[in-house]
Amino acid sequence: MEEEFAEFGAIDSEGFRTFSMTLEDGSEIARVSLHIDRISKKFPDYTNDEKNALLTAASIAAARNDSCLNDPQTVLTTIVQRLLPTLVAEQLQTYFPKLAKEALEVVTNACLKFALGGVVEMNGGPRVYDKETAEALLSPLTKTIAKEFLRVRAGRPAETWQRLLRTAEAVGRLKVASEATTREKVAEVLEVDAGTIGDWYPHLNCTWEEWVRASEMAGKIKNNFPAG
């Protein structure tokens, strides 16, 4: 019943920005305030998958032929300490009202159903809801988060970080043996088909040369993750 879109208003004297939720008749039913600057500087602990993804991105970015910065540690630090906070602030400003609105609708509907179910049971009626009702309530919010925010796609996420480290190990062994670091030689060391390795990097817009260089960089920064 609420309006389709909500947007933040101007920053108030305390640094908060507020958006409202209204009914179709224009009556306001909720206000939500957020201090975007503060929250953009506060990150939760990174999961291992998040760390690996950031390490991968930094290694590949530094290894590209057209990169002006070939130090993966500097790239990683810049991403974590400067780029991420900036992007978080932008995304909060743009998308927080939309997602918060959907979440508040879920909470509101849950409270309404809780009240309805309570009235029925207090007056001798049967239990009204089941697990499917809860899933149906959450479904719109879950779909939005999965599709628009987490970019979830069918299939498992590519294990690019592990592939980089495996490539680094193979390249290291080949260099010790004074052998060329061709795709075929790396595949032989890893005991996989060369075509399998050939599928590891093209979707990242990497050449084989860049992939090998990125793998070596990955080995250097894997245990040196900067603080946010």
Where exactly are the structural domains of the chain?
46-157, 160-221
**pLDDT attached to residue 26:** 81
For 214, the token pair is: 């990125």
Q: Average pLDDT in the 63-81 region?
A: 88
Lowest mean pLDDT of 62-71, 120-129, 152-161, 207-216, name the range: 152-161
**pLDDT attached to residue 3:** 40
Q: Average pLDDT in the 1-14 region?
A: 73
**pLDDT attached to residue 66:** 83
Q: How far is CA 92 from CA 76, 101, 113, 183, 193, in A?
A: 22, 13, 30, 43, 44
Q: How far is CA 168 from CA 98, 124, 145, 158, 172, in A?
A: 43, 68, 35, 17, 6
**pLDDT attached to residue 21:** 83
Helical H segments across the chain, by residue range? 36-40, 48-63, 72-78, 84-122, 131-144, 160-176, 183-190, 194-198, 208-221
More confident residue, 220 or 227: 220
**pLDDT attached to residue 228:** 65
Q: How far apart are the first and last CA of the chain?
A: 40
C-alpha dihedral sign at 154, 159, 164, 167: negative
Could you report the per-residue pLDDT of 119-172, keeping only the tens digit for each? 999 999 888 999 999 999 999 999 999 988 888 876 666 689 999 999 999 999
